[in-house]
Structure 1
Amino acid sequence: MSQAIPFTDNYNDLSNSNGYQFEFRCERCGNGYRSAFQPDKAMTGRGLLRSLGDMVGGPLRDIGNAADDFVLNRGTNSSAKDRALAKAVAEISPEFTQCKACGDWVCRDACWNEPVGQCVRCAPPLHDELAKLQAEARRVQVRDRLAAADLLQGTDIASDVVATCPSCGARATGGKFCAECGSSLSRTSTCDGCSAELPDGARFCPECGTRART
C-alpha cells in the first residue's frame, strides 16, 4: 500500500520527462514554495541508452528507439512519483500549517497567527484588526463631518440658475453677470422706473411702461 501523502489540494505538479518537482501554495495569500527538482534516474538511464544506440547502431539502436517510444505518464500515479511527492512534502511541509478552524493550509510566515493557533483569516492579529477598524471609523467620521459641513457658504441657492446667458446665449460660468456681454444672468429683472418684476423677454415694464435694460 502506498503511503498516505498530505497536501492534496494546494500543490501543482511541475514534473516533466526528466524528473519530479512540485509547487506548494498558501491557500490564503497564494504565495508558496517549490520543491527541489528530483531527476528521474530511469529516464536518465534511457537517455544514455539512446545516445549509445545512436553511436553503435544495430540492436542497441533498436533498444534506443524503443526508449524513445516509452513515454512516462506524469498524470498517473506511480511508486516513483509517490516517493518523489513524499520527499517534496517532507521538504516543504515545515513552511506550512493547517488551520483547524477553516481547514486551509497556510504559510507560517505571513498567514499564521501563532499565539492563537489559527490562520490570520480566522483570527486576525490584534494590531492588524485594530488598524483596519480605525481606518473604517475614519472613513465614517469623514463622511459624517462632510455631510454636516457647509460647503455652499456664499452661494445663492435660492435664485434660479441658468446654463446660458439670457441676452447673448453664452455659456454661464457662475456669478451674477455674463462674462461675455455683462448682462444679468438672473431669469428675472426689475424695472428701473417702478422696481416691478419684469417677466422673461419683456422689453417694457407692464406696470409703468419704462423700457427694460438689455
Structure 2
Amino acid sequence: MSEHVPFTDNFSDLSNADGYQFEFRCERCGNGYRSAFRRDPRAAGQKIARGLGNLFGGQLSQFTSMAENLLDRSTNSPAKDEALRAATAEIGPRFHQCRGCSDWVCGDVCWNDQVGQCVRCSPALTEELAQLQAETRRQQMRQRLETVDLVGGVDLGRQAQPRCPSCGAQSHGGKFCGECGASLVSVRVCGGCRAENPGTSRFCAECGTSLIA
C-alpha cells in the first residue's frame, strides 16, 4: 500500500556515508530548513568491520565488502524512506500547503494565517498596502521631478565633452579642463571667414570652406 509523503518536490538529500539529513525549501521565498542529522548505526558497525578487515584480511575482508553493499543509500531503500518520513514529520509543522496554488510555503514568512493561503495568493493587507504606498510615492516623486529644472545654466546646445580633447582627463562640466586648462568647447574655426562651427562639421556653415585639414 502506497504512503503519502509531503515535500516530494522541494527538498534536497544531504545524506552521506554516516547517516541521513534533508533540507526542505519554501517554494515562494526559497528559505531552507534542515532536518536533524540521523546517524545510521549500521555505519558505525561498517567502519569497525572495515578496520578489522584491513587489519586481518582474508575472509574478514570479504565480509566487510558484503557489509558495505548492505548499507544502501539509494533513493528507494527502506532506510532512506524511513529517514525521509522522520524528517518530514520533524519539519512539517514549519510548512503549509496553499490551497490556491498548491505550493508548500514556510509559515514564518510566506503564510497568511488569517486567510489560510500563501501571501502570493492572498497578500497580507498591511504588507500589500506598504508596497502600494511605496510605488505611489515613487510615481509622485517622478511626476514632481519632471517639473523641476535640473539643467538650469547648462548650455544644452553645446556638444558635451566627457574627456578633455587635449589631455584626455575626465571632464565634469564647464568650459575649460580642470587638469590642463584647455578649452572643452569643441569648435572648428573656418580658415576662410573665421566663423566658429561645431567640432563635427566638415564644411563651414557660413562660407562652405572645407574644415578638414
Normalised by the length of structure 1, the TM-score is 0.68
Query: Cα deviations across residues 89-141 of structure 1 (Å, max 9, x unaligned)?
Result: 00000011111111111110111111111111122211111111111111111
Match of 2:97 in 1: 98
Secondary structure of the structure 1 residue equivalent to 2:146: helix
CA deviation after TM superposition for structure 1 residue 55, in Å: 4.6
Inter-partner Cα distance in structure 2 for 1:152 and 1:93? 59
Which stretches in structure 2 are left out of the alignment for 5+ residues? 183-192, 196-213
Matched with 2:13 is 13
Q: Read off the aligned partner of 1:25 and give its amino acid letter.
A: R
The aligned counterpart of 2:174 is: 173
Q: How far off is 1:150 after superposition?
A: 3.4
Map residues 34-49 of structure 1 onto 2, 5 A cutoff: 34-49=34-49
The answer to whether the 8 Å contact 1:54/1:64 transfers is no
Partner Cα distance (1:108, 1:163) in 2: 56
Match of 1:85 in 2: 84
Counterpart residue identity of residue 102, structure 1: C
Maintained 8 Å contact 2:20/2:80: yes
- Matched to 2:105, the amino acid is V
What's the CA shift string for 1:167-209, capped at 9, x where partnerless?
xx9x99359xxxx79xxxxxxxxxxxxxxxxxx627xxxxxxx
Tell me if structure 1 keeps the 8 A contact 2:14–2:21.
yes
Would you say how many aligned residue pairs link Structure 1 and Structure 2? 181
The alignment-based identity, stated in percent, is 55
**Partner residue, 1:142:** 141
**CA distance 1:174–1:96, shift in 2 (3 Å):** same
- Residue of structure 1 equivalent to 2:107: 108
SS at match of 2:12: strand
Q: Which has the larger radius of gyration?
A: 1
1:201 corresponds to which of 194, 197, 202:
194
CA RMSD of aligned residues (A): 3.7
Shift of 1:152: 4.9
Q: Distance in 2 between matches of 1:162 and 1:17?
A: 69
- Distance in 2 (CA, whole Å) between partners of 1:3 and 1:151 is 68
TM-score for both structures, normalised by structure 2: 0.69
